[in-house]
A and B are shown apart, each in its own frame.
Chain A
Amino acid sequence: MTAVLDPPTPVRPAGPRGRARRLARRVAGPWTYAALIAVLAGSAFPVYWSFVVSSQTPDAIDTVPPVLVPGGHLFENIARVFDTTDFALALTNSIVVSSTITVSVVLFSTLAGFAFAKLRFRGRNALLLVVIGTQAIPTELGVIPLYMMMSEFGWATKIHAVIVPGLVTAFGVFFMRQYFERAIPDELLEAGRMDGCGSLRLFWHVALPAARPAAAVLGLFTFMQAWNDFFWPLVVLVPENPTVQTALSTLAAGYTTDYTLVLTAATIGTIPVLIVFLLFGRQIVGGIMSGAVKG
C-alpha cells in the first residue's frame, strides 16, 4: 500500500512558454458539441424537471405523459415554502455551516497536503495511509457516539454540532496532497531552501499560489458536500433550527407528501450553491488557464 505514495509520473507544469503552447489545444468540432450538449442535457434534465414541477400545481408530478414546460405557480409555491417552514433560517444556517467548513477544510488540507507531498518526515507514509484509511469508515453508526459527545458539549440541536465534525476531511488532505505532488517541482523547493527559505515561507510563497486552482476545486466540492449533508444534521438538529436539507425532509414529512413543495424548496436551496460555483468556478477556470505555477 505504500505504493499509493509513489511519486506519480510527474507532469511538469509548463512554464510561460507552455502557456502559449497549450492554447493550441484541439478546437472542438461539431461532434464535440453534440456530445457535450447530450451530456449537458442528461445532467440538467432532472434539475430542469424539478424546476418545472416547482412552477406547477401539485398534480403535475404524476401526470402521464409528464409535464415538461414550466407553469405559472412558482411564486405561489415559494410563498408556501416560506409559510410552511422557517426556510430563511434554514438558508442562513446552511450558509454559515457550509462556508465555515469550507474555509477550514481548504486551509487545513492545503497545509497538510503540502507537508505530505513535499516535506520529508518520519512516519509520513504511515500517517498518510491513516488519513486514507479514515475515508473508508462508514459514518452512519458514528452518529451515536458523536451525538453523545455533542450533547456532552451542550451542542446538540445547535449548528456547532454540524460544523465541528466537518472542519477537516480526509478527502481534502488526500486531494491536496495528490495535487501538490505534481504541481510543484522539487527543484523549485530545493532552490528556495538554498536561498534560506523556511518551510513556512515555501508554503506561503511557492505552494499557496500554486494551489489556487486546486484549492478552488476543493472549496467548491467541500461547500457542495457540506450543503447537501443530511444524515447527521437530521439526527442532531431539530426542526426549529434546520439546515436546508433537514427543512426539506420536514417538508417531505408533512401530513401529505407534497412533492411540489419539496422540489420548490430544493430549487431555492440550489441557488446559493450556484452562486458559490460561479465565484469559485471563475477561479478554477482562470487558475487552470494561467498555468499551475507562476513563473
Chain B
Amino acid sequence: MRPRAMAIGCAALATAMVLSGCGSESAAGGKTKLTIGLFGNFGYSELLKEYASTHPDIEIQDRTASYSDHHKNLAAHLATNSGAADIEAVDTGYIAQFKATPDKFVDLNTKGGGQLKDRWLAWKWESSLSKDGQQIGYGTDVGGLAICYRRDLLEAAGLPSERTQVAALWPTWQDFMATGKRFQANAPAGTKWFDGGPTVLNAIVGQAPVGYYDKSDKLTLGNNQEIKQGWDLVVDGVQSDLSAKLLYSTPAWNTGFKQGQFATVTCPAWQMAKIKDQAPDTAGKWDVTSVPGGGGNWGGSYLTIPKQGKNVDKAVELAAWLTAPEQQARVFTGAGLLPSTPKLYDDPAIVNYQNPFFNNAPVGKLFTDAAKQLQPQYQGPKAGDVQTAIGNAMQRVEQGKQNGEDAWRQFVGDVQKLTS
C-alpha cells in the first residue's frame, strides 16, 4: 500500500472517530432520549409523537425489527448486559422464557405496578409474573380469536357471505372443516379453504383449557385430548386438500393474501393489522366473524424495562402510559390490537367500533365478546418453541413427507428433547 493510500486510510480512521463521536447517548438540550424496541405493528407511532409533545424533556426513538431479529437481539443484549432499548416488547411466545431470568428486568412491582395491577385481565398480569413474584412486563394486547374471511370467494363458491350466516356454518371446528369441503367442491381456481394447517391448529390449541403445559410446567401431550383431536381434525382438512399450505408470517403467506389463495384465516385481533398492511388492495373484500369452538387466545405482547437502561424510571412511566386503558383503546381503533384491560370491554367507544377495511365488521363487539369468553391458558417455559415444533409437524403432513401419525410421533419426541 502506498503512502498516499495510507494517508487516505488514516483520514478515514480519523473520520470514523469523529463521526461516531456524534452518536452520543443523551440528546441535545438536556432532553432524555428513550428508546423503545418493537416488532411488527404495535400501533404506537401517533401515541409516541403525542407523548413526546406533552413531555418536552423526552425524546423517543422507535426501533422496530422483525419478530425473530427482535427477540434474538434482545436475548443477546440481556446476556451481555448492554445495548437493550429502554423499553423492550416481548411476545407471549417468549415471555415465559424471559421471566425465568427476572433479574435482567426492572421489577415493576417496585415501581408502582401493584397499584396498576387491576387494569389488566388477571391472567395477563400473571403470565409475565416470575416465580418469585417479580413483574417483568406490562401487558399490551391480547390475541382474542375470530375468523377473517373473503366474502367474494365464499360467494363464488355458492356459500352465504353474511357474518351471522357464516358464523352459523361453523359452531364447531368439525363444522368448519365440513363447510370447507363444500367450499372446495366449487372453489374458484387457485383458492383453498384456509391458509395453512399450523394457523388453524394454533387457534384450536389456544382454545383448549390446558395448553402444552400444565401449571406445574409438565408437558401434557401424552394425555391432552383437545390438542390431539384438533391435530387429527386439521390433518383431515389438509388431506382433503383444504389447505393452501402456506406457513404464517412468511413472505409466501403475505403474497397469499394479495393473490387470494385462501378464503379464510384464523384471526387473532393483531392479524387484522397484518392483513390490512399486507394486502391494502383487498379492502372491502374481507369480513370478520366469530371463531368456531369458543374463546381462546393466540399471541399478545408485553412491554418490559431491562434493568441495564439508564432511564429506568422514565421508561417505566412511558410503558405504563402506553398500556393504560385510554391508550389501548386508541391502539384498538387504530391498528386493531385487542386491549388487555377489561374495563374497555364494555366501553361503548370500543364495543361499537366497526372496521371499514373489513366491510365495516363490528370488530369491537366481536372481539370484546371473544375476550370475555376467553379461558386463560397457562403458558409453560418453552411454549413458543413447542408451537414452532407443532407447526413444523403439520407442514410435514402438508408437504406429503409424513402421515398424521408419524408427524405427531416425531413432534412429541421433538418436544421431549426440547424440554429435557
**In the complex, which of the residues B15, B65, B273, B281 has the most CB atoms of chain A within 10 Å of its own CB atom?**
B65
Task: Assess whether A103 is in contact with B83, with CB atoms less than 8 Å apart.
Answer: no
Q: Give CA–CA (A156, B76) in the complex, Å.
A: 12
Cβ A103 vs Cβ B20 within 8 A: no
Given A143-B76, A157-B23, answer yes or no on A103-B1 (Cβ-Cβ < 8 Å): yes
Interface-facing stretch out of A5-13, A187-195, A235-243, A263-271: A235-243
Which residues of chain B are near A104, meaning CB under 8 Å?
Answer: 9
Q: Which residue of the partner chain B has the closest CB to A106?
A: B1
* Residue in contact with A99 in the complex, picked from B9, B40, B76, CB distance below 8 Å: B9
Evaluate contact between A103 and B8: CB separation under 8 angstroms: yes
SS class, residues of chain A in contact with chain B: helix
> Chain B residues with Cβ under 8 A from A160's Cβ?
16-17, 20
Contact B258 A62 (CB under 8 A): yes
Q: Are A238 and B64 in contact (CB under 8 A)?
A: no
Contacting residues of chain A (211-228) with chain B, CB-CB under 8 angstroms? 215
Shortest beta-carbon distance from B75 to chain A in Å: 10
State the Cβ distance, A21 to closest chain B Cβ, in Å: 29
Contact call A144/B254, Cβ cutoff below 8 A = no
A131 vs chain B, min Cβ distance (A): 19
Do residues A159 and B20 form an inter-chain contact, with CB atoms below 8 A?
yes
A104 to B82, CA, bound (A): 28
Considering only residues 46-86 of chain A, those with a C-beta below 8 Å from chain B are 59, 62
The answer to the question of A134 belonging to the interface, with a C-beta cut-off of 8 Å to chain B, is no
B19 lies within 8 A of A159 (CB)? yes
Are A249 and B23 touching (Cβ within 8 A)?
A: no
**Chain B proximity of A138: nearest CB distance (Å):** 16
Partner of B79, one of A93, A100, A144, A250: A144
Decide if A147 touches B83 in the complex (CB within 8 Å). yes
Please report whether the interface of chain B is mostly helix, strand, loop or mixed according to DSSP. helix
**Residues A249 and B65 in contact, CB atoms below 8 Å apart:** yes
In the complex formed, the residue of B with least CB distance to A92 is B19
State whether the Cβ of A41 lies closer than 8 Å to any Cβ in chain B.
no
- Which residues does chain A contribute within 8 Å of B41, judged by CB atoms? 255
Contacts of B1 in A (CB 8 A): 103, 106-107, 110, 208, 215
Q: Does A183 contact B (CB under 8 A)?
A: no
Please name all residues of chain B whose beta carbon is closer than 8 Å to the beta carbon of A147 when the two chains form the complex. 76, 80, 82-83
Q: Is A206 in contact with chain B by the CB < 8 A criterion?
A: no
Whether the Cβ atoms of A62 and B23 lie closer than 8 Å is: no
A239–B37 Cα gap in the complex (Å)?
Answer: 10
- A72 shortest CB reach to chain B, Å: 20
Residues of A within 8 A of B82 (CB): 147, 151, 156
Question: Is B162's CB within 8 Å of the partner chain A?
Answer: no
- Verify B277–A93 contact, CB threshold 8 A: no
Report whether B278 and A256 are in contact in the complex, using a CB–CB cutoff of 8 Å: yes
Q: A62-B255, A259-B251 are in contact. List 19 more A-B contacts (CB 8 A).
A: A92-B19, A100-B16, A104-B9, A106-B1, A144-B80, A147-B76, A147-B80, A147-B82, A151-B82, A158-B20, A159-B19, A215-B1, A234-B69, A235-B76, A239-B63, A240-B63, A241-B20, A255-B277, A256-B254
- A–B complex contacts, Cβ < 8 Å, 14 sampled: A59-B281, A96-B15, A96-B19, A147-B76, A151-B80, A160-B17, A215-B1, A234-B73, A238-B35, A238-B85, A249-B66, A249-B69, A255-B40, A256-B277
The 10 tightest CB contacts between A and B, nearest first, are A103-B9, A151-B82, A253-B66, A256-B277, A255-B41, A158-B20, A147-B80, A100-B12, A62-B255, A99-B12
